[in-house]
């Protein structure tokens, strides 16, 4: 094992609501035979879906470095366990400073909202052979933001002269990264630590 560090990483948490609408076309196919003749009937339906969708605690990295992209493999964190910020939580651990501000994270949040809402609406269109989306719109109507520091163990491991990197969720033990197929035991154990902390709403 080259290096093991306990680090608090910065994240943005967003609660929001979006007004969404989807127009789609559903098709059903019916095939039957009469004697030697085969008949095919295609029925086409115009589908409309819409409403207001609530989102809670959409989680986005507030650090844009390439080497921390694997943090997204650690989701989900138990955000119900967040505590108000206290410097004592950072004792013995590293803490990264954010370099992605809220305005820069907002487009990603809106994209997540739109993609999730579209999936939700499409899930209501069962019963057809095929469904084709013709038009979809998502308009955010409200949002609130919080800044949070969430814990992860970061490990650098050398095996057969090659470095491997992986991260572990400091709450759940979820692991992300590339590890050797048959590594030697590192001889270390990872202790539990404070669950994370958040600032006041932004």
DSSP string, 135-185: EEEEEEEEEEEEEEEEEEEEEEEEETTEEEEEEEETTT--EEE---SSPPP
Task: Report in angstroms the alpha-carbon separations of 174 from 3, 92, 182.
Answer: 19, 22, 19
Q: Tokens standing for 53?
A: 């969708």
Q: What range defines the domain where residue 126 resides?
A: 3-32+39-198
Rounded distance, CA 186 to CA 166, Å?
13
Q: Which segments of the chain does DSSP mark as H helices, in order?
A: 102-122
Rounded distance, CA 102 to CA 201, Å?
12
Rounded distance, CA 63 to CA 167, Å?
15
Q: End-to-end CA distance of the chain: give it in Å, rounded.
A: 39
Strands (E), 35-129: 37-61, 83-84, 94-95
Instruction: Give the CA count within 13 Å in the CB-facing half-sphere of 163.
Output: 5
Total tally of structural domains belonging to the chain: 1
Rounded distance, CA 22 to CA 135, Å?
6
Q: How would you write the pLDDT of the chain (202 residues) with one tens digit per residue?
A: 567 889 999 999 999 999 999 999 999 999 999 999 999 999 999 999 999 999 999 999 999 987 778 888 888 888 988 889 888 888 888 999 999 999 999 999 999 999 999 999 999 999 999 999 999 999 999 999 999 999 999 888 778 888 888 888 888 888 888 766 655 544 444 444 555 665 545 5
């Amino acid at each position: 094992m080259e290096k093991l560090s306990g680090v608090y990483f910065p994240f943005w948490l967003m609660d929001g609501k979006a007004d969404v609408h989807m127009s789609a076309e559903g098709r059903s196919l019916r095939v039957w035979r009469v004697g030697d003749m085969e008949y095919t009937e295609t029925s086409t339906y115009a589908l409309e879906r819409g409403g207001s969708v609530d989102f809670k605690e959409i989680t986005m990295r507030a650090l844009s470095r390439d080497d921390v992209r694997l943090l997204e493999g650690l989701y989900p964190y138990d955000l119900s366990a967040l505590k108000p910020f206290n410097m004592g939580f950072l004792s013995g651990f590293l803490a990264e400073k954010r370099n992605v501000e809220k305005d820069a994270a907002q487009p990603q949040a809106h994209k997540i909202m739109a993609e999730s809402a579209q999936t939700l609406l499409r899930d209501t269109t069962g019963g057809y052979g095929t469904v084709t989306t013709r038009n979809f719109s998502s308009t955010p109507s409200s949002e609130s933001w919080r800044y949070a520091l969430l814990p992860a163990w970061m490990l650098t491991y050398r095996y057969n002269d090659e470095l491997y990197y992986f991260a572990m969720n400091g709450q759940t033990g979820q692991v992300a990264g590339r590890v050797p197929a048959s590594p030697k035991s590192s001889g270390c154990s990872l202790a539990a630590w404070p669950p994370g902390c958040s600032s006041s709403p932004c």
